[in-house]
């Protein structure tokens, strides 16, 4: 975990448990290398609108759940959604492909990104995310996950 994230979590009094594992880039790899980590495992998608306001969205859902793009577009009153480019991911969230997580919101100092979290993730007792690097996972109790999201001050929706 990089020192910026560690310092931010410590400053906000957010408790977590660190797990170290081989690099994982996909849900399948995470199932293989991270199954020992407790809590709901999540996947994170960095999306943008193709037209219109061209807003950015970070979507977090259970790792085994499929995102229904059309449904999400309707819920967000959004134009067609597509995956953002890696350059945009790096510029806005300071992340690289394979290391995307809700924790990247701490790097969004302009609050450009709308966070969209699946109800199952929001309600989970324990959730697990990469700490912006894909060789580690942080485990959070629900109260600390909620605190992280509120502390970033990004607009968010629970769907």
- Residue 21 has which token pair? 């594992």
Domain boundaries of the chain, sorted by first residue: 3-158
Q: What phi, psi does 31 have (nearest 5°)?
A: -60, -40
Residue range 43-53, pLDDT digits in tens: 899 999 988 77
pLDDT for the residue 73? 93
In terms of pLDDT, which residue wins out, 44 or 134? 44
Query: What secondary structure letter does DSSP report for 5?
Result: H
Residue range 11-27, pLDDT digits in tens: 999 999 999 888 877 77
Domain 3-158 class, CATH top level: alpha beta
Residue range 57-86, pLDDT digits in tens: 999 999 889 999 999 999 998 889 999 999
CA 122 to centroid of chain Cα atoms? 12
CB 45 within 8 A of CB 83: yes
pLDDT for the residue 23? 81
Query: What secondary structure letter does DSSP report for 132?
Result: S
pLDDT > 90? residue 135: no
- Residue 25 has which token pair? 């880039």
In terms of pLDDT, which residue wins out, 27 or 144? 144
Cα 115 to Cα 102: distance, rounded to the nearest angstrom? 8
pLDDT > 90? residue 134: no
CA 86 to centroid of chain Cα atoms? 15
Residue range 80-126, pLDDT digits in tens: 999 999 999 999 999 888 788 899 999 999 999 999 999 999 999 99
pLDDT for the residue 85? 94
CB 19 within 8 A of CB 139: yes
């Amino acid at each position: 975990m990089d020192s910026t994230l560690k310092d931010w979590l410590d400053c906000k009094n957010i408790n977590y448990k660190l797990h170290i594992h081989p690099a994982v880039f996909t849900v399948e790899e995470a199932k293989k290398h991270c199954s020992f980590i407790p809590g709901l495992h999540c996947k994170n998608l960095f999306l943008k609108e193709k037209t219109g306001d061209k807003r950015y969205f970070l979507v977090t859902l259970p790792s085994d759940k499929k995102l229904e793009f059309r449904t999400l577009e309707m819920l967000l009153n959004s134009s067609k959604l597509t995956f953002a480019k890696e350059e945009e991911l790096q510029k806005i969230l300071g992340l690289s492909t394979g290391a995307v997580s809700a924790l990247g919101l701490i790097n969004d100092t302009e609050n450009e990104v709308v966070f969209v979290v699946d109800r199952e993730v929001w309600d989970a007792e324990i959730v697990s995310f990469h700490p912006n690097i894909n060789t580690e996972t942080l485990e959070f109790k629900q109260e600390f996950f909620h605190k992280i999201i509120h502390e970033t001050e990004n607009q968010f929706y629970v769907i």
